[in-house]
Amino acid sequence: MLWMIKLKDMHTLVERAVSENNPLAPDIEKIVNHYAKLNRRFDKIVSLSDSYQSQLRDLNLRLELLAHTDSLTGINNRGHFMDLLSAELDRNRRHERVFSVLMLDLDHFKSVNDTYGHAVGDEALRTLPRVIQASRLRKSDFLGRIGGEEFAIALPETGIRGAFEVAEKIRANLERTAFIFGGEEHFMTASIGVSEYRHGDTEDTLLQRADHAMYRAKETGRNRVCLSD
């Protein structure tokens, strides 16, 4: 607005110089026209700058999303999940709340890849988060792909018994969920380990106990839920 007011005043100055037959009127008009031209260029630069800044913000958001997201499944990658888990454990320590995590591994996943190909295996990995999220997870719960066919689910303010019920619901839902690939139905099962936060736990020790429970579930027949020791 300030630029427009100054330019308007300059045009008034030209009109006054012309009406008063001021000998400098032509020079004043040239200066004002040049100023107007510069002003238009400036407005264009400002507009382009705003556009570039908007594009830069969008790119930064996309980069941040890519840095935090597993490219295949669209959920948190390991690094971001661990950051979220660390922050949640800090809150848990301050407020002395219960907290549990699940470690989940798809059963016989290598056989799926070997038998049907990696495309079917990838579809199974993409299907799993949808099954987990459809198992009535709360907004405060979060999950991530830890690596390969391993996934972790964090359950704030949930004791081990409540976490067992969530894990069992996920296991049962996955067992009866069919996903279609190549015109055929395929089914998957999962082994799940559950651990509850103990005083002094770190992210690693909490997940490690859930991981050990998950492997015990595999060793005792798969497609089941086991609690940590």
Catalytic center residues:
149
C-alpha dist (Å) from residue 211 to 151, 157, 207, 225: 10, 20, 6, 12
Q: Which residues are CB-contacts of 14 (< 8 A; sequence separation ≥ 6)? A: 25, 28, 29, 32
Q: CA quadruple 36, 38, 43, 47: dihedral positive or negative?
A: positive
Q: Which residues are CB-contacts of 156 (< 8 A; sequence separation ≥ 6)? A: 88, 91, 92, 97, 99, 140, 141
Residue 81 burial (10 A CB sphere; 0-12, 13-18, 19+): buried
Angle at 178 between CA 72 and CA 110, to 5 degrees: 55
